[in-house]
Structures are given as C-alpha cells and as structure tokens.
Amino acid sequence: MWTSTCNNDAFLGLTIHYIDNNWNLKNFLLDIISFTTRHTGNNIANAIKSVLTEFNLLEKTLALTTDNESAMIVCGRIIAEELTRELNDQSFRHYRCSAHILNLATQQGIKIIDDEVVKIRELMKKIKHSTLRCDRLRELCSIENLTYYKPQLDVETRWNSTYYMIVKFQKMLRPIEMLAATDQDIKKFVPDAQGWIKINDTLTLLEPLEKATVLLSASSYPTISDYWEVVDSSTLASTVLDPRTKLTLFSTGKESTNAINAVKRRFSEYHTPMSQPAVINHDNGEVASTRDYFHQLKRRRLNNSTLNITRPSSGIYEEIDRYFALPCDDNVAPLLWWQAHFREFPALGAMARDYLSIQATSVACEQAFSVASNTITRTRNRLQPDTSRALLCSKSWLEKE
C-alpha cells in the first residue's frame, strides 16, 4: 500500500514474479489500483483476489509476499484460508518481507553500541554542517593518502544506513582524530579505545547482515530459498531445490527427513512417466567456498546432513536421489545451475522454476511506488487515479518487454 503525499490518493500495488524458459527471474507490475476503502486485511484480500481472478492467475499463484503491516498479515491469512477452502489448494503461502524483519532485528542488536553511535552521529553532523571542517577533513585525508568520504548521517529506522555511517567514519578515523585534536567542539565525540573495541566487534557481526540486506533487496534473485530460518513446506522445498544448499541447512534426522518429504509431496504433481532424464556424468569434487565465516558454518554441516539419510534408489523418486548425490556448490547461481541441468532433472527442474521464484521481500512493489512518487508530483497532483494507474502499468509493461 502507498499513499501519495501530493493528493492523498491511496494505491495497492501488485507485482508478479516468475522464471521464464531461459531461466531468467522476471517481474513486472501486474496492477496498481486506486484504494478508496478502509485499509483492512479483508478489503486488501478482496482487491488482490479480484486482480488475480481478472488475469486468470488466482489458481496459479504459489505465494504472496507483503510488507509487515498488520493488515497485510491478516490479508495473507484470509487468502490462504480461502484458497484452501474453495480450491483445496494447500500449497499457497504468505510471506512477510524478510528485509524488513532483518532490519527490525538488527536495530535491536545495534543498540549494544548505541552510546558510541550517538557520538559518531553527532560528530558527523557537526562536520557535515561546517564547510570549514569538511574542507579541512578533505585536506587531512589527502595528507594521509586516504579516500575522503562526504559525511553522511544515518536514517535511524534503517540499520544499514547506520552501518555505512560508522564504516565511513572508521575509514577516515585518523584524519578525523587529527581534526578533533585542534577542534574542542568535536573532540568529545570521538570514541575512546574501549568504545572502538565494541564498535569493531559489532561491525564484524553486522557485515554478513549487511550483505544479506543487499542480496534480499536486489532484483536479480532475492527468492525464498535465501531465508535461513525454514518454517514451512514451501520454504523447505525452495531451500532443498537451491543447489547451493540442498540439505546442508538441516540437521540429520527429523529436519532432513521433513525437508525431503516436503519435496516428495510436491514432486508427484510434476513427475510424469514421460519424463525421461538424460544421465550426465559429473565431477564430484568439492567446490571450495570463498564466503565468510557464517557460510563456512553451513558447509561444516554438509556431511552430517546428507550421508546418513536413507533414500529410495529407484521408482518415482529416483530423480530426487540423483539430485542429492551431486555435491553442493556455494558459488553457483541457482538459476544458471538449473538451466544447465534441466534435461537431467525435468520434474525437479519444473518444481525449481516455480518455487525459486517465490520472493523473500516486497522490494519490487516498493520500487514501483518509488516510480509512482515521481509520476504523481506537486505539479501533477490532479492526475486521476485511473490515469496514474494506466501510466504506471504501461511504463512497467513496456520496460519488461
């Protein structure tokens, strides 16, 4: 949901995401409709179902990803319940935007160094608002052969902006200390040695979270398989069908068995007797991971999560067995892997095409609303909602052709 600050018109945006025959993740704005009723979960659910029905997509929709507003959570529950009741479709899932969840969780963690953050923020503010200090800092960076970064304040509701502010401060620490040595007004805001120990330890923990935020906010493949907390059958299936992970995120025993069973339950819907995979030999050598500590943890679980599981050697699940026999590859792009192996795993590939398109974030809709804010402006605040709708949808459709 988005409300224009220029004319107070409210809009509901709906983007569609799918993987095409060339294994490219595609998305476009399906519709952006004027929303004149109360923003309740039931009203939003009715509007979404109306759009999906109009495009004959209701029965083909596998998941809905929204922001974390309470009305959206109610909306997701209503749609899931109605699809289960009316269409006997138990595969539909509603997901809350993981980037927003990560932001809220990390904001709590960053409070550990809140005192130091307040100091850095105040110091950066004083430098930013003083031309003389900015010029002097630029000179000192040049003397120290360091890159000068324009002082930038964080947005307190976005943790990664705080992270970037601290990182820039850290990179210019020596010049800033030199500047503060002759400027008593800012000297008190430079963290002491103990403060820097806390800051550096916290930055070490925040770095992988920053990478996760960037990944989830990208438009290339921020899919549900990138969730680390696996909570339902669709997420289980998506994680297993990601060739980088397969069963490595699950403990041996119940967790791994549940993951395999989640794939099996869906597999029969895709498998047909006509599916005759081409058998291709593979090099079973391990691919060395270049990722950092947190991804190394995942690789340590590889042997424990795969070697002790009993799987069928023939029959309908033989394709699954051969897929698990291949080693994981931390460095591969999932869609490129499936493009290369689709003929070998036709049924699993069809599953992967569906499940790996499930979005982990609502970023695509937020991007559409960003375009909307540039369309409905103070100089064009009399645009009728239907006109705005036509402009925004046409722009998205033409760009995605």
Assign residue 17 a region (left: φ > 0; alpha: ψ between -120 and 50; beta: otherwise).
Answer: beta
Say how far apart CA 378 and CA 386 lie, in whole Å.
Answer: 18
Please report the pLDDT score of residue 171 as a whole number.
Answer: 93
Q: Helices 346-355 and 254-270 meet at what angle, rounded to 10?
A: 100
The CATH architecture to which 2-97+362-399 belongs is: 2-Layer Sandwich (3.30)
Selection from 121-135, 192-206, 362-376 with the highest mean pLDDT? 121-135
Percentage of residues of the chain with pLDDT beyond 90: 23
Please report the pLDDT score of residue 287 as a whole number.
Answer: 36
From edge to edge, which strands make up the β-sheet containing 2-3?
A: 2-3, 10-19, 25-34
Joined tokens for residue 197: 């120990």
pLDDT higher than 80, residue 186: yes
Task: Identify the burial level of 367 via C-beta atoms within 10 angstroms of its C-beta, where 0-12 means exposed, 13-18 middle and 19 or more buried.
Answer: middle
Say how far apart CA 80 and CA 90 lie, in whole Å.
Answer: 8
Contacts of residue 359, defined as CB under 8 A and 6 or more positions apart, other chains included, come to 17, 63, 65, 95, 222, 223, 224
| Of 354, 353, 362, the residue nearest 76 (C-alpha) | 362
Alpha helices in 6-69 (DSSP H): 41-54
| Of 351, 324, 134, 146, the residue nearest 243 (C-alpha) | 324
Question: To which residue do tokens 């899931």 refer?
Answer: 80
Q: What is the rounded average pLDDT for all residues in the chain? A: 79
Which residue did the predictor score with more confidence, 119 or 386? 119
Please report the pLDDT score of residue 123 as a whole number.
Answer: 93
- C-alpha distances (whole Å) from 180 to each of 136, 174, 176, 193 are 11, 10, 6, 15
Which residue did the predictor score with more confidence, 239 or 292? 239
Please report the pLDDT score of residue 216 as a whole number.
Answer: 66
- C-alpha distances (whole Å) from 38 to each of 41, 52, 208 are 9, 20, 40
Please report the pLDDT score of residue 236 as a whole number.
Answer: 81
For 300-325, write each residue's pLDDT tens digit: 554 444 444 444 445 678 888 899 88
Q: Helices 159-171 and 98-110 meet at what angle, rounded to 10?
A: 50
Please report the pLDDT score of residue 231 as a whole number.
Answer: 57
Record the pTM: 0.68
Provide the total of helices (H) and of strands (E) in the chain, helices listed first.
18, 5
Say how far apart CA 361 and CA 217 lie, in whole Å.
Answer: 7
Contacts of residue 173, defined as CB under 8 A and 6 or more positions apart, other chains included, come to none
Residue extents of the structural domains in the chain: 2-97+362-399, 104-217, 224-355
Please report the pLDDT score of residue 110 as a whole number.
Answer: 82
Residue 31, beta-bridge partner list? 14
Which residue did the predictor score with more confidence, 356 or 301? 356
Say how far apart CA 239 and CA 218 lie, in whole Å.
Answer: 19
For 359-375, write each residue's pLDDT tens digit: 877 767 776 666 666 66
Say how far apart CA 347 and CA 71 lie, in whole Å.
Answer: 37
Say how far apart CA 230 and CA 224 lie, in whole Å.
Answer: 9
The β-bridge relationship of strands 2-3 and 10-19 is antiparallel
Residue 3, beta-bridge partner list? 10
Joined tokens for residue 188: 């008190």
DSSP letter at 215 equals H
CB 320 within 8 A of CB 311: yes
| Of 240, 207, 186, 192, the residue nearest 356 (C-alpha) | 240
Please report the pLDDT score of residue 245 as a whole number.
Answer: 81
In this prediction, residues 66-95 reach a mean pLDDT of: 84
pLDDT higher than 90, residue 13: no
pLDDT higher than 50, residue 140: yes
Which of 210-219, 251-260, 285-294, 334-343 shows the lowest mean pLDDT across its residues?
A: 285-294
Please report the pLDDT score of residue 227 as a whole number.
Answer: 46
Residue 31: count other Cβ atoms within 10 Å of its Cβ: 21
* CA pseudo-torsion sign 78, 83, 89, 93: negative
Residue 251: count other Cβ atoms within 10 Å of its Cβ: 11
Which of 78-92, 294-308, 332-346 shows the lowest mean pLDDT across its residues?
A: 294-308
Residue 212, beta-bridge partner list? none
Which of 149-163, 295-309, 368-382 shows the lowest mean pLDDT across its residues?
A: 295-309
Say how far apart CA 245 and CA 223 lie, in whole Å.
Answer: 13
Q: How confident is the model at residue 209 (pLDDT cuts 50, 70, 90)?
A: confident
